[in-house]
Amino acid sequence: MARILDGKQAAAALRERVRAEANALRADGVTPHLVMIRVGEDPASAVYVRAKEKASASTGIESRTSVLPAETSQEALAERIADLNRDPRVSGILLQLPVPAHISEEEMIAAIDPAKDVDGFHPISMGRLLLELPTFISATPLGILHLLAHYEIPVAGRRVVIVGRSRIVGRPLANLLSSRAAHGNATVTLCHTRTRDLGARTREAELLIAAAGRKRLITAEMVAPGAVVVDVGIHREPDPNRPGKQRLCGDVDFPAVSEIAGAITPVPGGVGPMTVAALMANTVAAARRQSGRSAPQR
Domains of the chain: 29-119 (3.40.50.10860), 139-272 (3.40.50.720)
Contact 25, 61 (CB under 8 A): no
Q: Is 58 exposed, middle or buried (0-12, 13-18, 19+ CB in 10 A)?
A: middle
With residue 25 as reference, give the H or E element that holds it.
Answer: helix 7-27
- pLDDT tens for each residue of the chain, 298 residues long: 899 999 999 999 999 999 999 999 999 999 999 999 999 988 888 889 999 999 999 999 999 999 999 999 999 999 999 999 999 999 999 999 999 999 999 999 999 999 999 999 999 999 999 999 999 999 999 999 999 999 999 999 999 999 999 999 999 999 999 999 999 999 999 999 999 999 999 999 999 999 999 999 999 999 999 999 999 999 999 988 898 888 999 999 999 999 999 999 999 999 999 999 999 999 999 999 999 877 765 5
Q: Is 158 helix (H, G, I), strand (E, B) or coil?
A: coil
- Terminal-to-terminal C-alpha distance of the chain: 34
pTM: 0.94
As annotated, the active-site residues are 52, 96, 119
Q: Which residues neighbour 69 within 8 Å (Cβ) at sequence distance 6 or greater?
A: 39, 40
